[in-house]
A and B are shown apart, each in its own frame.
Chain A
């Protein structure tokens, strides 16, 4: 079943074309990785799916609720906010509960706790968000995105500044969510740790260079078109194709 349908999408910022002629379909329960160089329009594509920017041309159709985890750089670290408050933010925003006196229902509190438990951060619930490590902060932001029980989960570079054990935990969680029917779409710079889990990869450089199964997409021609140079690959003993290096966050 189709969860996201993107047709001939073109998005611009003040006349600057960020992405053009993008056509994609993401099915329910699919785990999709979006790759591409810095400035290639990965974040723009996520924003367009989330409905945050209006397409200049074409359309995006989504079926279900969206959970969005932006890059951590957007967060204001000057506010001494508690972990619980950060995760509550997702639910409160969706329900338009903005008053100082708004309270979460018992079920909503349960959602907050479950989301924190899923990312293994429940024990930090009363800690100050700004005092956590980078990886812990990423997990809290992920908890905020999944607390609303989204049908489509959009993640913008969720592994930035995250150590390997945390990365493994997050991947396992995303894999579980996908198997439960959540469509997971994530922007990554290095797809290797995800390659055993993703169902499809999108290579994006302003235009969609390739979209499909990893072994179909990660060809020297496609990676050369995307990054300017072909990225060598290797096949692991389980038979998955791995790019030998990824680029870094710009």
Chain B
């Protein structure tokens, strides 16, 4: 390995560490709240936001592309949460159905917006495709700051998120503002997804935000162990992906995603 590669390698390892923290925290709550599809939904909603930011830029209003993406993703998450009516008792829409419809709406908007700024389309689609070895320091800084925010929100409202995921009905009866905390949880997941996706690409985020927690949940005997095991699974898959990419002509992110997704299916087979 040439010395020239070392900064790229270090940045990739730091990114995997940050992604693994998000996989442990946001990923675990994504699985607990049973909104795995939200990860894909918000990632695609971010495309529409990014495209709208570029349209505004072409009109002379500067809006950062990532900010546009984050705002749209949060809007999609809140819309899905509203449609599912988690804060209300009685009849409610299945959250994943609401996410799917919100996904369809935001993808249609993305295509519409992108067609209006064809010359910048690559920048929009770039949100979906990232590379662990091509991360800049500013990508890392955004990922790091977002992760701190995610840690802070989750630490402050940990029990509210847990209770609404475990037994929303009892939480409402106890006076917990379940609807409000559900919006906050879904928005935190959306924020985490888009900030990490902007750096490393959507495929790695899809894989890392769902599979490790889904595997950990099958084996862990306590909630804290789900967090720890999710972190360890995503970190080791990420490092293995980076290591393998030195020997095989594939992207480290894709390798890590293949590893963690395969581990999930193996875990299903082992603990059937």
Contact = CB atoms under 8 A, between A and B. Distances in A.
B265 interface: no
B271 interface: no
Interface string A46-75: 010011110000000000001011110011
Contact of B159 (A74, A102, A141, A144): A102
Contacts of B168: 74
B139 interface: no
A97 B222 CA distance: 20
A3 to B, nearest CB: 17
A40 interface: no
A76 B165 contact: yes
A79 B32 contact: yes
Contacts of B220: 80
Nearest to A156: B169
A85 interface: yes
22 contacts: A47-B90, A52-B89, A68-B170, A69-B170, A70-B170, A71-B169, A74-B170, A76-B165, A78-B217, A79-B166, A79-B217, A79-B223, A80-B217, A80-B221, A82-B222, A89-B170, A93-B175, A101-B155, A102-B159, A128-B222, A141-B170, A144-B170
Interface of A: 13-14, 16, 18, 44, 47, 50-53, 66, 68-71, 74-76, 78-82, 85-86, 89-90, 92-94, 96-102, 128, 141, 144, 154
B91 A13 contact: yes
A234 B217 CA distance: 50
Most buried by B among A53, A93, A94: A93
Contacts of B157: 98-99
9 tightest A-B contacts by CB? A93-B174, A68-B173, A100-B158, A70-B169, A98-B160, A74-B169, A98-B159, A13-B90, A100-B155
Contacts of A44: 90
B176 interface: yes
B166 A81 contact: yes
B51 to A, nearest CB: 35
Contacts of A154: 173
Contact of B34 (A16, A66, A78, A93): A78
Nearest to A94: B174
Contacts of B5: none
A50 B173 contact: yes
B167 A76 contact: yes
B221 A128 contact: yes
B37 interface: no
A72 to B, nearest CB: 9
Nearest to B161: A98
Contacts of A70: 167, 169-170, 173
A107 to B, nearest CB: 18
A51 B158 CA distance: 25
B209 to A, nearest CB: 16
Contacts of A97: 159
Contacts of B217: 78-80
Nearest to A129: B166
B154 interface: yes
B156 interface: yes
B171 A79 contact: no
B13 interface: no
B172 interface: yes
Given A53-B90, A74-B169, A90 B174 contact: yes
B15 to A, nearest CB: 25
B163 interface: yes
B176 to A, nearest CB: 5
Contacts of A66: 173
Interface string B145-162: 000000000111111101
Nearest to B32: A79
B155 A99 contact: yes
A186 to B, nearest CB: 15
B27 to A, nearest CB: 14
Most buried by A among B156, B166, B168, B225: B166
B173 A75 contact: no
Contacts of B170: 68-70, 74, 89-90, 93, 141, 144
B31 interface: yes
A82 B176 CA distance: 21
Contacts of B173: 47, 50-52, 66, 68, 70, 154
A47 B155 contact: no
Contacts of A92: 159, 163
A52 B169 CA distance: 9
Contacts of A96: 175-176
Nearest to A50: B173
